[in-house]
Amino acid sequence: MPKLVFVEKDGNRKEVDAPVGLSVMEIAHRFDVDIEGACEGSLACATCHVIVDEGWYAKLGEPSEDEEDMLDLAFGLKPTSRLGCQIVMSDELDGLEVALPREVNNMLG
């Protein structure tokens, strides 16, 4: 089974078995990783936002326009940001690494 690595907010790396066909968001839920996914993958929230490792980003293919629109609403957006519910595990993605965004408090800059 492919592996998926979550880099948690405190920098901790959590490597899990990632069943092919499940999204990064679904896998996070299965392993108690702190990704919300409020709309359960219907592209109606941005709470499943993850930051993909740079080396992996290009291998995922382009995000859809709907995903891009939703990402614009995500906090802590980075050039390699994606929505976790739109990344579906496959054997090719064995070793994929995604980081959880750190919460940014805009009031404090």
Which residues lie near ligand FES (CB under 6 A)?
25, 37-41, 43-45, 47-48, 70, 83, 85
The secondary structure of 34-66 as a DSSP string is S---TTTTSSS-STTEEEE-HHHHGGG-PPPHH
The CA distance from 89 to 70, in Å, is: 21
Give 18 or 83: the residue with its C-beta nearer to ligand FES: 83
Closest distance to ligand FES from the beta carbon of 81 (Å):
12
Helix (H) / strand (E) element for 4: namely strand 3-7
**Which of 84/93 has CB closer to ligand FES?**
84
Q: Which residue is nearest to ligand FES (CB)?
A: 85
Amino acid at the residue 89: M
Nearer Cβ to ligand FES, position 49 or 97?
49
